[in-house]
Amino acid sequence: MRLFDFTLKMNGFPIDKAKLALSKIQDKDEGDFETYVKAQRNAIVLYHLENTPYYKSLGKSLRLDDWNSVPIMTKSDLQQTLEQRLSQGFTKANVYINKTSGSSGNPFIFAKDKFCHALTWAVIQDRFSWFDLDFNSSKQARFYGIPLDKKGYYKERFKDVLSNRLRFSVFDLGDVAFEVILKKFNTIPFAYINGYTSAIVQFAKFLKRKEIVLKDICPSLNVCIVTSEMLFDNDKALLENQFGVAVVNEYGASELDLIAFQNTKDEWQVNSETLFVEILDENNKPLPYGEEGRIVITSLYNKAHPFIRYDIGDIGILSKQSTIKKPILEKLVGRTNDIAILPSGKKAAGLTFYYITKTLIEDDGNVKEFVIEQLKKDTFKIKYSSNEELSKEKTEIIKQEMERYLEPGIEIVFQREPKLARTKSGKLKQFTSHIKQES
């Protein structure tokens, strides 16, 4: 029995209909695809203008013949009750409801109509099939968070059974926990690993210390798919070496869909079938392929709740090789709220100097994980967990490099922790600014 698909159907999500619709979309040639995208994005705007009072209040000056007149939606626009945002004919009883992780600082509850949610799963299954993975039969080793309350805990465990996966908690990343996980790989024929980047990287470091290549003890393992957190090149190389399989980078948002997925040619292919992805400048003007800007996304099928020209809060670049049918995400720079503003007024992406520091701080294997916080414009705190405290020589080198890449006069505070705090979902937020961002 195809248990995963059966479970979706039992919950009212028409997965067969969604897979058929997706196949028809993918069969269109480049010219027909452009016509399809324009027609579908206009259709979803018109639908919400006619059926969603909340959206109509946002789009008072909107003109269907001018896409750039369609207003930009932000997360702050959604900080109101779900009932106020639902389209007519939809209630909490007949939609899929979930909550964003809040990693952007603006968590909110959202809804999808059941066909739209089925399409989300159709796209995910399609992308995983690129690597010969089938949710109905391929066993998943899942590195994710899990609710700690009794009801939430057992609900997720039950979903894991239905989804053919075994979950490993990311709240304990010590060697004792990893030894238990390693024994599971020795006895269970996992087809793939899926989960949060930082936790999977820690498992790979554990394997490196033990001089183990995971595929040697789990020959059925074919691929590792990381999500939700940045994957740096040196970490990707570590995962490939210690797992002995291909490493695939996934980018998505629960309120939207799977946004981009690394294909077998190592391209970060954007989901153009159910989403329309734009790169905009600070004045909301579309940028050409190859230029960096804000990622703004339209959900082409969600009738229950509008996500139209929705500013997801990320910064990225679409490759010059992109087409409307096959956009390629060349680079995901970071989040708009992960920007550091320095005393001179200069701005720097938080992940930029996280990366600078990372190359220095982890070279000897002493430091397990670290995060950076901006306390003031001229003050940054590096919190880390390690076997031994960082030497004075090492901290001085890090300070010098931070000043070299940023600007002189920056103060760096080091704070060693037994282990780093994660979000409730289990993610590790690599950079956080505690100062007010200037508009």
| Residue 394 in this model has a pLDDT that exceeds 80 | yes
Q: What is the pLDDT of residue 135?
A: 93
**pLDDT mean over 279-288:** 95
The type of residue at 96 is: Y
Break the chain into its structural domains and give their ranges.
3-335, 342-433
| Residue 212 in this model has a pLDDT that exceeds 90 | yes
Minimum mean pLDDT range among 42-46, 133-137, 171-175, 378-382: 171-175
**pLDDT mean over 19-44:** 96
Q: What is the pLDDT of residue 301?
A: 98
pTM flag (> 0.85):
no
Check if 3-335 and 342-433 are the same fold: no
Name the CATH superfamily for 342-433. Answer: ANL, C-terminal domain (3.30.300.30)
Q: Are strands 109-112 and 96-99 parallel, antiparallel or unpaired?
A: antiparallel
Query: Could you give phi then psi for residue 384, rounded to 5 degrees?
Result: -145, 155
Q: What is the pLDDT of residue 363?
A: 61
The type of residue at 412 is: I
> Which pLDDT tens digit goes with each residue over 226-242?
988 788 888 999 999 99
Query: Could you give phi then psi for residue 203, rounded to 5 degrees?
Result: -65, -40
Q: What is the pLDDT of residue 106?
A: 55
The CA R_g of the chain, rounded to the nearest whole Å, is 22
| Residue 439 in this model has a pLDDT that exceeds 60 | no
| Residue 340 in this model has a pLDDT that exceeds 70 | yes
| Residue 352 in this model has a pLDDT that exceeds 70 | no
Q: What is the pLDDT of residue 264?
A: 95
Query: What are the strands, taking DSSP E only, across 336-387?
Result: 339-341, 347-349, 367-376, 379-386
Minimum mean pLDDT range among 21-30, 164-173, 343-352: 343-352
Q: What is the pLDDT of residue 421?
A: 82
Q: What is the pLDDT of residue 105?
A: 47
For 316, the 3-state DSSP assignment is strand
169-182 in b/e form (b: 16+ CB < 10 A) is bbeebeeebbeebb
Instruction: Select, from the ranges 137-151, 156-170, 280-294, the one with the highest average predicted confidence (pLDDT).
Output: 280-294
Query: Which one of 3.40.50.300, 3.20.20.140, 3.40.430.10, 3.40.50.12780 gives the CATH number of domain 3-335?
Result: 3.40.50.12780
Residue 351: pLDDT band with limits 50, 70, 90: low
For 7, the 3-state DSSP assignment is helix
**pLDDT mean over 86-105:** 81
Q: How far is CA 200 from the centre of its chain?
A: 15
User: Which tokens is 251 given?
Assistant: 């980018």
User: Which tokens is 258 given?
Assistant: 């799977």
Return mean pLDDT, the chain: 89
Q: How far is CA 151 from CA 71, 142, 147, 155, 157, in A?
A: 40, 20, 8, 6, 10
Residue with the bigger pLDDT between 237 and 60: it is 237
Q: What is the pLDDT of residue 425?
A: 67
Contact 351, 298 (CB under 8 A): no
Q: What is the pLDDT of residue 347?
A: 74
Taking the CB of residue 376, how many other CB atoms lie within 10 A of it? 10
| Residue 42 in this model has a pLDDT that exceeds 90 | yes
